[in-house]
């Protein structure tokens, strides 16, 4: 089974060797690597060209964003399955072997994802870290329970299914992967491997973790997609309850982020416009009241809440 590994890269000269190295060190060897250089202005392309392994292919395109780069890789892929890894992340040597074995074990799944670690703390990111690989009964309830789900560098995706749902959304600068994983989950079953087999490098320049909130904050595209897919009857009836709860979680998070940077009017308007948020009435009221607080007061209350949460 040929796996096409897609690496979107933008000004990745400091990290691309580690990422590529972790791919080439895989115990499963039936793969190709497509590095999509998304308009880099550094030595990223030269570094990739220096690799003599015939499985490594470089594609260059004008800067169009990470979604455009991933979609280009998918279009050029020869394998029936796509594994994504960002240029500053890395895999454990058995990542591909494990996800391929899991996809074979559960015919019909549209994606497989593994647990992963934070590079700075070493913390395993998904609390459900024990047991055997399994097909999730509900991807959305799994995420709500564990506060974490699929991530762009720990997934194996069925290529034709990904193309059928439209790939990654162009023009979305944050949360484009969340939108894509949701559409996959509405389309078919997803398998989960509790073993952490990938590492998310949060300390690298350009990471959303490093950028000021104002630079990347935007209305969650998953909310728009949910409304469209529900309207068109494309979400299975039995998934609607968990799906809406998942979307509400992201909308409330968006509102809190707006409050953190003092955009109270936008936060209030979001609460008033999004009727689904009223299903969590007490949470809704607390957020709505917060939109009338001065930003320093809101930040103080958040700090107090975090302090007591940490010591209790």
- Domain locations in the chain? 3-200, 213-311
| CA-to-CA separations, 128 to 114, 145, 176, 196, in angstroms, rounded | 11, 9, 24, 10
Per-residue pLDDT tens digits for 240-274 = 999 999 999 999 999 999 999 999 999 999 999 99
Q: Is the Cα torsion angle 224, 227, 228, 234 positive or negative in sign?
A: positive
Mean pLDDT of 92-103: 98
Alpha helix locations (H) across 188-220? Answer: 213-216
Confidence of residue 299 (pLDDT cuts 50, 70, 90): confident
Give the model's pLDDT for residue 309: 55
Mean pLDDT of 284-311: 76
- Retrieve residue 10's tokens: 């933008």
Evaluate whether 142 touches 126 at the Cβ level (below 8 Å): no
Give the model's pLDDT for residue 312: 46
Per-residue pLDDT tens digits for 183-238 = 999 999 999 999 999 999 875 555 555 567 777 788 999 999 999 999 999 999 99
- Retrieve residue 240's tokens: 């609607």
Give the model's pLDDT for residue 302: 67
Q: Is the Cα torsion angle 34, 38, 43, 45 positive or negative in sign?
A: positive
pTM of the prediction?
Answer: 0.90
What's the CATH number of domain 3-200, 2.60.120.10, 3.90.550.10, 3.40.50.620, 3.30.413.10? 3.90.550.10
Mean pLDDT of 169-189: 91
Alpha helix locations (H) across the chain? Answer: 16-24, 44-49, 66-76, 95-105, 139-146, 159-164, 176-187, 213-216, 221-231, 240-260, 264-273, 281-290, 295-311
């Amino acid at each position: 089974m040929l796996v096409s590994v897609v690496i979107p890269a933008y000004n990745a000269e400091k990290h691309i060797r580690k990422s590529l190295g972790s791919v080439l060190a895989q115990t499963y060897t039936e793969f190709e690597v497509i590095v999509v250089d998304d308009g880099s202005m550094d030595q990223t392309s030269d570094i990739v060209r220096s690799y003599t392994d015939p499985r490594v292919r470089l594609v260059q395109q004008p800067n169009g964003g990470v979604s455009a780069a991933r979609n280009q890789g998918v279009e050029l892929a020869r394998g029936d399955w796509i594994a994504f890894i960002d240029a500053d992340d890395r895999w454990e040597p058995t990542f591909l072997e494990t996800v391929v074995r899991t996809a074979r074990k559960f015919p019909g799944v549209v994606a497989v994802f593994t647990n992963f670690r934070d590079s700075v703390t070493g913390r395993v990111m998904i609390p459900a870290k024990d047991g055997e690989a399994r097909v999730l009964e509900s991807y959305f309830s799994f995420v709500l329970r564990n506060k974490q789900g699929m991530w762009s560098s720990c997934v194996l995706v069925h290529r034709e299914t990904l193309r059928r749902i439209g790939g990654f959304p162009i023009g979305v600068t944050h949360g484009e992967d969340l939108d894509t994983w949701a559409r996959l989950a509405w389309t078919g079953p997803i398998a989960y491997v509790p073993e952490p087999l990938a590492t998310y490098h949060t300390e690298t320049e350009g990471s959303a973790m490093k950028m000021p909130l104002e630079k990347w904050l935007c209305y969650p595209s998953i909310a728009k997609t949910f409304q469209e897919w529900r309207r068109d009857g494309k979400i299975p009836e039995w998934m609607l309850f968990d799906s809406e709860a998942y979307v509400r979680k992201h909308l409330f998070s968006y509102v809190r982020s707006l409050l953190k940077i003092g955009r109270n009017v936008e936060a209030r308007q979001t609460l008033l416009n999004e009727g689904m948020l009223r299903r969590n009435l007490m949470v809704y009221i607390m957020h709505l009241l917060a939109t009338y607080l001065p930003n320093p007061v809101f930040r103080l209350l958040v700090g107090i809440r975090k302090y007591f949460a940490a010591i209790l």
